């Protein structure tokens, strides 16, 4: 196998992996394709254990309703007595901070309206349920940061510059590589 063959195999594998994840796991907007997921965590004010009794189940329902209204998709959620975890898929029109603001703002208002007698002993100010901060991490379906970094950093090294060039290379016998035969990543 020549050096060119090795490079072509590496480039084709990277392209195939990224195409698989971006095509099959992406959502469509009017002018975009995206796969954006965030792991969000926030806590009640003073990290008090107020999310007990019927509140956790109701909070899950509220968060699902908010997600539907704002065209978000909750993939997973868990309500602990002193914090909330939500894994959410979003469109690019919402920043992570905006998503948290929406979830916390609406859920705080609704929970205080429905459970004020239960929450009142734990809430310092009547209008505040959640602490100001939050935790956010982006989540991937499998195209790791290293694979994407490698794919982007090798764009100019490719022997093909257009989709037609790539199709010609595939037709000439460079398409026999497995989808998940991942290349080594340079460090």
What are the tens digits of pLDDT across the range 119-160? 888 876 667 899 999 999 888 766 555 665 565 566 556 555
Active-site annotation holds for 151:
yes
User: Both tokens of residue 83?
Assistant: 């914090």
Q: For residue 180, what is the DSSP state? A: T
Which pLDDT score, from 0 to 100, does residue 178 have?
32
The domain spans of the chain are 33-139, 144-187
CA angle, corner 138, sides to 80 and 60, nearest 5?
30
Q: Can you tell me the distance from the alpha carbon of 185 to that of 146, in angstroms, rounded to the nearest whole number?
A: 7
Task: Say how many Å lie between the first and final Cα of the chain, rounded.
Answer: 24
Check if CATH label 3.30.70.1290 holds for domain 33-139. yes
Catalytic residue among 94, 134, 151, 174: 151
What residues are paired with 80 via a beta bridge? 83
Report pLDDT digits (tens) over 3-35. Answer: 666 776 776 776 666 555 555 556 666 677 778
Q: Long-range contacts: 61-69, Cβ < 8 Å, 24+?
A: 62/106, 62/107, 62/110, 62/111, 63/103, 63/107, 66/102, 66/103, 66/106, 66/107
């Amino acid at each position: 196998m020549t050096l060119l063959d090795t490079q072509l195999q590496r480039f084709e594998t990277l392209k195939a992996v990224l195409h698989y994840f971006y095509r099959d796991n992406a959502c469509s907007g009017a002018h975009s394709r995206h796969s954006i997921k965030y792991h969000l965590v926030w806590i009640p004010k003073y990290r008090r254990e107020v999310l007990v009794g019927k509140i956790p189940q109701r909070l899950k329902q509220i968060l699902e309703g908010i997600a539907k209204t704002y065209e978000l998709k909750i993939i997973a959620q868990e309500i602990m007595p002193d914090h909330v975890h939500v894994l959410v898929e979003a469109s690019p029109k919402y920043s992570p901070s905006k998503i948290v603001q929406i979830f916390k703002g609406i859920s705080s208002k609704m929970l205080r309206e429905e459970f004020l007698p239960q929450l009142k002993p734990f809430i310092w100010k009547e209008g505040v349920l959640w602490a100001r901060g939050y935790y956010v991490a982006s989540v991937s379906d499998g195209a790791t940061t290293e694979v994407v970094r490698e794919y982007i950093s090798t764009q100019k090294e490719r022997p093909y510059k257009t989709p037609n060039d790539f199709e010609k290379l595939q037709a000439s016998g460079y398409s026999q590589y497995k989808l998940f035969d991942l290349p080594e990543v340079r460090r």
